[in-house]
Amino acid sequence: MRAFARMFGLPLNWAIYGELASAVRTGLPAVAAVRPDGFWAYLAQHPEEGRVFNAAMVDKARGTIGDIGGGGGHLLRAVLDTAPGTTCWCCSATDSTRVRNVQAAARHGHTTRALRA
């Protein structure tokens, strides 16, 4: 959580927040008004802020697994069986088997969310 709070406080993000009205008015990303070369170029030019951003993304992803499309969710279920306390989510347009596998994982104490597209 600390890394996320630090990321939201980066100077670039504060400048982007200040351009929200511009984004609403033009339909363009607020970052375009602040940094025409883009968010990623800025982070490449400011390595310490890039490290803060990367740490926030790692914190956000830690302990969460997503299964989007492909197969019946068997790999996701196997991972969950070996990683107690992992949060997972599953998105399936038509495959009810995958959703059932995620629901079975939930019965084993995993935090899950099964979504249908």
36-81: pLDDT as tens digits? 999 999 999 999 999 999 998 888 766 666 666 656 667 767 777 7
Mean pLDDT of 19-28: 94
Q: Where are the domains of the chain?
A: 2-61, 64-116
Non-local (6+) Cβ contacts of 68 within 8 A are 90, 91
- Amino acid sitting at position 40: W
User: Looking at the DSSP assignment, which residues form a beta bridge with residue 87?
Assistant: 64, 111
H-run or E-run covering 8: helix 2-8
- 39/34 Cα distance (integer angstroms): 9
In terms of pTM, does the model score above 0.75? no
pLDDT at residue 6 is higher than 80: yes
**End-to-end C-alpha distance for the chain, whole angstroms:** 29
